[in-house]
A and B are shown apart, each in its own frame.
Chain A
Amino acid sequence: MSRELHRFREMDVDVAVYGADARRVAAVERLFAEWDRVFSRFRPHSELALVNASRAPVVVVSALFARALRAGLDAAAETGGLVDPTLGAALEAAGYDRDFAAVRPDARPTGPPAPGRGRSVRLLGRVLVRPPGLRLDLNGVVKALAVDDALALVAGDGLVSAGGDVAVRGGAVVGLPRGGSVRVESGGVATSGITHRQWLRGGAVQHHLVDPRTGRPAVSRWSEVTVVGPTCLAADVAAKAAFLLSDDGPDWLDEHGLAGRFLTHDVAVTNGVWRDCPPEAA
């Protein structure tokens, strides 16, 4: 196993790969580069942008696009619609309509709310059927799915981290927000929250975690939620759902047998699974 930690930047996040030789690191880089070309909301010719721009009710998408959309639809089903792949319009209405680095305070009011419409989407193999005008955003699952896929490219033990989403095989120490760390032997760790990617629109603070029930940036008791799960995707989806559920987030994670750590601006709270079967403190 390579003992080098390779770092690069792709999909607007920092990526770290451990346990891979140069050839496999290059393969991981190509994976992230391709996923950015397919799923970016801001590349005018990304597949996502082309699908969203199409007025046709039925479109044939690539195998990769179909796979990520299927993951998004499955996440919606598993979370009762809390993680929804149809929130593109809601993000744009809140003002997140360009690369985040280019988002500036804007006095104009936000656009109309755009609640999630995941149930209106049908995916049959690579055939996508959805109401014209529906704007997909798969970034709720794409980064974590890419991390899991990237780890599959690493032979043997290793880890991949992208923007704080982590997948591990063979053991790693994962530092937690605001201090502390856990040792993870195999699985995923992800953190969702609103301490980054905030901006001003219409005189109010906006952020990127939209509540599909309202079509607006979510209101939650928590500022960040960290989940340890069997995969990075499972951890990321659960972290988003637990964040959106606010006070009910810890119990929801308990019901799903997942360990979670919740932060407010001054308090850290863990759920029952974390307390009963804590990830090994490092």
Chain B
Amino acid sequence: MTRIELARLRASRAKRALAAASAVGFLVTMGLARAAHPGHSTHAASTSTAVTSSSSVSSVPQVQTHVS
């Protein structure tokens, strides 16, 4: 393996490590946001105008992500 190839390998590993660290940081930040105020919504009023419909799902549930 040439020096250039070794350098490329080190750079690739460093990039992967940086991406992994960034992902952890992002997750921690969002986790802290969620945990900041744990008390909520359990005192909701019982009225709702929503209509519920049900259908049977045979195996793994399927949904669609889209712009709303």
Contacts and interface: CB of A to CB of B under 8 A. Distances in A.
A178 to B, nearest CB: 10
B47 interface: yes
A234 B65 contact: no
Interface in A53-96: 63-64, 66-67, 70-71, 74-75, 77-78
Interface string B4-37: 0000000000000011101111110111111011
Contacts of A6: 52-54
Given A78-B26, A158-B61, A183-B60, 15 more contacts: A3-B58, A9-B51, A10-B50, A30-B48, A33-B49, A37-B45, A78-B30, A159-B61, A161-B64, A164-B64, A172-B62, A174-B63, A175-B64, A196-B68, A258-B26
Contacts of B46: 30
Interface string A166-208: 1000011111110001010000011111111100000000000
Contacts of B34: 71, 145, 148, 231, 233
A175 B65 contact: yes
Nearest to A178: B66
Given A5-B54, A8-B52, A230-B27, A159 B63 contact: yes
Contacts of B62: 172-175, 181
Nearest to A17: B52
Contacts of B63: 16, 18, 159, 161, 166, 172-175
Nearest to B53: A7
Contacts of B58: 3
A47 interface: no
A37 B44 CA distance: 10
B52 A173 contact: no
B1 interface: no
Contacts of A254: 19
Interface string A86-119: 0000000000000000000000000000000000
Contacts of A193: 67
Contact of B39 (A13, A63, A177): A63
B26 A74 contact: no
Q: Indicate the size class of the contact surface on chain B.
A: 35 or more
A30 B64 CA distance: 23
Contacts of A71: 33-34, 36
21 contacts: A4-B54, A4-B56, A8-B50, A29-B48, A33-B48, A37-B45, A67-B37, A67-B40, A70-B36, A71-B33, A78-B26, A145-B34, A162-B68, A163-B66, A165-B68, A173-B60, A177-B67, A197-B68, A229-B26, A230-B26, A255-B19
A226 interface: yes
A257 B19 contact: yes
Which of B20, B25, B41 counts the most A-chain CB atoms under 10 A from its CB?
A: B41
B52 A7 contact: yes
Nearest to B32: A74
B55 interface: yes
Nearest to B67: A193
A23 interface: no
CB-CB nearest 9 A-B residue pairs = A257-B23, A163-B68, A67-B37, A164-B66, A8-B50, A34-B44, A30-B44, A175-B64, A74-B33
